[in-house]
Structure 1
Amino acid sequence: MIFEKLRLVNFRNYRDVVFSFSPRVNVFLGENGQGKTNLLEALYLISQGDSFRYSDNSTLINSNNQQALIQALITQNDLHYKLKLGLTKSRKVLTLNDKKVTSTDIRKIFASVVFSPESLASIKEGADHRRELVDELLVTFDRKNADLIADYRKALKTRNKILKNYVEGLNDKILTQNLLDSLNPQFLRLGADFAYARISALNGLAKEFNNAMQYISGNFDVDISVEYVISDQNALNFSREEVFFALQKRIQELHDAELSSGTSLVGPHKHDIVFLYGQKDSRFYCSQGQQRAIILSFKMAQIVYHRKAHGTYPVLMLDDVLSELDKGKREALITFLHEINTQIFVTTTDFTLPDSFSLDQLSVMRIKDGHILE
Structure 2
Amino acid sequence: MIFEKLRLVNFRNYRDVVVSFSPRVNVFLGENGQGKTNLLEAMYLISQGDSFRYGDNTTLINSNNQEALIQALITQNDLHYKLKMGLGRSRKVLTLNDKKVSSADVRKLFASVVFSPESLSSIKEGADHRRELVDELLVTYERRNADLISDYRKALKTRNKILKNHLDGGQPLSLTRDLLESLEPQFVRLGAELAYARITALKGLSKEFNNAMQYISGQSAVDISVEYVISDQNALNFSLEEVTFALKKRLQELHDAELSSGTSLVGPHKHDIVFLYGQKDSRFYCSQGQQRAIILSFKMAQIVYHRKAHGTYPVLMLDDVLSELDKNKRNALITFLHEINTQIFVTTTDFTLPEAFSLDQLSVLHIKEGTVLPG
**TM-score bracket relative to the smaller structure:** over 0.9
Any idea what the Cα deviations from partners look like across 1:306-335, whole Å, max 9, x if unmatched? 000000000000000000000000000000
Separation in 1, partners of 2:92, 2:161: 22
* Counterpart in the other structure of 1:315: 315
Which residue of the partner structure matches residue 329 of structure 2?
329
Give the distance between the partners of 2:117 and 2:345, measured in 1 at CA.
15
2:67 corresponds in structure 1 to 67
TM-score if structure 1 supplies the norm length? 0.99
For residue 205 of structure 2, give the secondary structure of its aligned residue in structure 1.
helix
Alignment of 1:363 onto 2:351: no
Code of the aligned partner of 1:297: S
Amino acid at match of 1:369: E
Counterparts of 2:188 and 2:78, CA distance in 1 = 41
- The match for 1:198 is 198
Q: Which amino acid aligns with 1:72?
A: A
Q: What is the deviation of 1:240?
A: 0.3
- For the residues of structure 1 that align with 2:14 and 2:345, how far apart are their CA atoms? 18
| In structure 2, distance between residues paired with 1:192 and 1:87 | 33
1:343 alignment counterpart:
343
**2:184 equivalent in structure 1:** 184
Where does structure 1 differ by over 2 angstroms across 4 or more consecutive aligned residues?
none
- Give the match's secondary structure for 1:32: coil
- Kindly indicate whether residue 352 of structure 2 is the aligned counterpart of residue 352 of structure 1: yes
**Correspondence for 1:226:** 226
What per-residue deviation string (whole Å, max 9, x for no partner) do you get for residues 132-186 of structure 1?
0000000001111001011111111111111111111111111111111111111
Q: What amino acid does structure 2 have at the position aligned with 1:105?
A: D
Which whole-Å CA distance do the structure 2 matches of 1:90 and 1:233 have between them? 38
Matched to 2:340, the amino acid is I
**Distance in 2 between the 1:166 and 1:372 partners?**
51
Number of the residue aligned with 1:260: 260
Provide the secondary structure at the position in 2 that maps to 1:65: coil
Q: Secondary structure at the match of 2:188?
A: helix
Q: Distance in 2 between matches of 1:255 and 1:39?
A: 44
| 1:300 paired residue number | 300
Q: Distance in 1 between matches of 2:146 and 2:16?
A: 32
Gaps of 5+ in 2: none
Structure 1 residues 229-286: Cα deviation after superposition (integer angstroms, max 9, x where no partner): 0000000000000000011111111111111111111100000000000000000000
Name the structure 2 match of 1:95.
95
Distance between the aligned counterparts of 1:241 and 1:31, measured in 2? 52
Q: CA deviation at 1:373?
A: 2.8
Correspondence for 1:167? 167
**Cα distance, 1:108 vs structure 2:** 0.6
- 2:35 — aligned with what? 35
2:270 — aligned with what?
Answer: 270
Aligned to 2:210: 210
- Equivalent position amino acid for 1:49 in 2: G
Q: What corresponds to 1:85 in structure 2?
A: 85
Measured in 1, the distance between the counterparts of 2:57 and 2:173 equals: 36
Aligned residues: 374
Deviation at 1:208, TM superposition (A): 0.2
How far does the alpha carbon of each residue in 1:98-121 deviate from its partner, in whole angstroms, 9 at most, with x for none? 001111111010000000000000
| Separation in 2, partners of 1:373, 1:203 | 44
> 2: distance between equivalents of 1:10 and 1:181?
45
Matched, 1:26 2:55: no
Matched, 1:148 2:148: yes
Structure 1: how far apart are the matches of 2:263 and 2:65?
35
| 3-state SS of 2:273 partner | strand
Aligned-residue offset at 1:190: 0.6
Give the partner amino acid of 2:228.
Y
The residue number in structure 1 matching 2:13 is 13
SS of 2:71's equivalent? Answer: strand
Q: Is the counterpart of residue 139 in structure 1 residue 144 in structure 2?
A: no
CA–CA distance in structure 2, aligned partners of residues 151 and 130 of structure 1: 20
Name the structure 1 match of 2:117.
117
**Offset of residue 67 of structure 1:** 1.1
Alignment partners' CA distance in 2, 1:69 and 1:176: 40
Q: Aligned AA for 1:130? A: R
2:155 partner amino acid: A
Q: What stretches of structure 1 of length at least 5 have no aligned partner? A: none
Q: CA RMSD in A?
A: 0.7
The code of the aligned residue for 1:136 comes to E
Secondary structure, counterpart of 1:108 in structure 2: helix
Give distance in 2, aligned partners of 1:73 and 1:165: 43
More displaced stretch, 176-185 vs 315-324? 176-185
The one-letter amino acid of 2:194's match is F
Q: In the alignment, residue 33 of structure 1 is paired with which amino acid?
A: G
- Residue identity in the other structure for 1:10: N
